[in-house]
Structure 1
Amino acid sequence: MQLQERECPQCGDPFTGRADKKFCSDACKAQYRRDNLDGKSVNDEEDKDEEWDAENDDWDEDEEEGNVESNMPLYGKVNLSESSPSSITRLEQANEEERKRQFHALEVIRLKQLRIEAQLKQEAAEEAEEEAEKIRTLHSLYSTLIKKCLKLDGQELDEEDLETWIDELDEASEKYLSHPGLREPDNKAHKRLKDLYWLRDTFSDLLTEFHEEGEPVFLELPPKRKARFRTNRIA
């Protein structure tokens, strides 16, 4: 191989060597590499291998001295505690979407409960109105019969009259059994139902008397019973 004379780029001394030799010595080559860490490689593939060996030598020396981390390039250190802004933004968006989803689900449940409560209140109001209407109807039935009986007191009755009254009182008593007030022990509905039963028994006894004697009979209401009727007619 032809030898050439050239100048060492590190120390500036002239030297003679192969065409691919650029430094006068390994020391200048290593020093040049240290001074130009950020620069491009100045050797061919063989020089790169030599530089790699030199780096390994430097690494071994640092490792023996316990100072490996201090010689590592800064870009090799990563702060794992830091996250990129884009990652934080995506996480915040995901959390916000989850909060919105949960809020929407709770709102749906709340509205459903409100609808159920409103429906129950409406049904309760309708039932209360139906119950109140039934009470008014049954009391009107009771009051009408009692008023007629009070007017009938002392009058003569024949068989047809007695049978008609018995049928009316049977029907009225049957209807009055559905009175909502009968669910309450102290409600006046119990006394009024007993009044209807008493009248039914009274007319039944008069009919028996009529059949036995074959003569018209008279309805005679005791004073206490009439007073009771008048009291119970009051709603």
Structure 2
Amino acid sequence: MRLKPNIFFDMDGVIAVYEKDAYIPESGKKPLYLDLDKHYFRTCKKNEHAAEVLQMLRSLNASDERMHDVKPFVNTLLKKSVGLDTPMHPSVKVSDYIFSASVHVLSRIPQSCKEAIVIAKDKKKWLDEHFTNKNMTRREKGICFNTSFKNKAETAEHILSRPLRPTDILIDDYNPNLIEWERRGGTAIKYLNGQNDANSWEGLCVSSNETPAEIVSFIMMILIQNKITDVY
């Protein structure tokens, strides 16, 4: 069975702007995101920067002008990477593998019944509003929720029906998610959104100060490296 690379995007704090006031309420008040009558997740702001990264990664195999500067860079990496032109890793097969990456949105929702139902619907509605008519298929618009599992790594393993591998990438702003992802064998990248602590994470990271093309190139570089070193 051919295993494809997978890239999972967090929603809150990555493709959706983290608004501190919505999560940390005044004393004695319910957080805005849990006030079901307000439907916070239908109206939260989109992070245009992270959303562009997601869209570019979903266009890897398409004739998308946003990939104009990325694909030549990736092709150069493939040609220069040590060990690619071997029977085990012919460059054309590695290229096909890298560009076959599947992109997902993986977001947490509460475990209580009513909150889970309402928030899941609101998040799906938000995604449909912001990512519809972007040359995406029904499959590519999917969102995965971790409710019955303890963390995102377990959820992803359930979705993929296998353990995480180095070519399974999580882009998230929350350290516990990143730590568990790496512990279970995946590759974690912290998204520095301008509000979280850059010094709290010593692993891979990308920043809202970098262009989407730079971030996509960086992710492709990581996938190439991890594909070469990982044995399937």
Same fold, TM exceeding 0.5? no
More helix by percentage: 1
Q: TM-score, normalised by structure 2?
A: 0.20
TM-score, scaled relative to structure 1:
0.20
Higher strand share: 2
Q: Which has the higher contact order (CA 8 A, sep 6+)?
A: 2
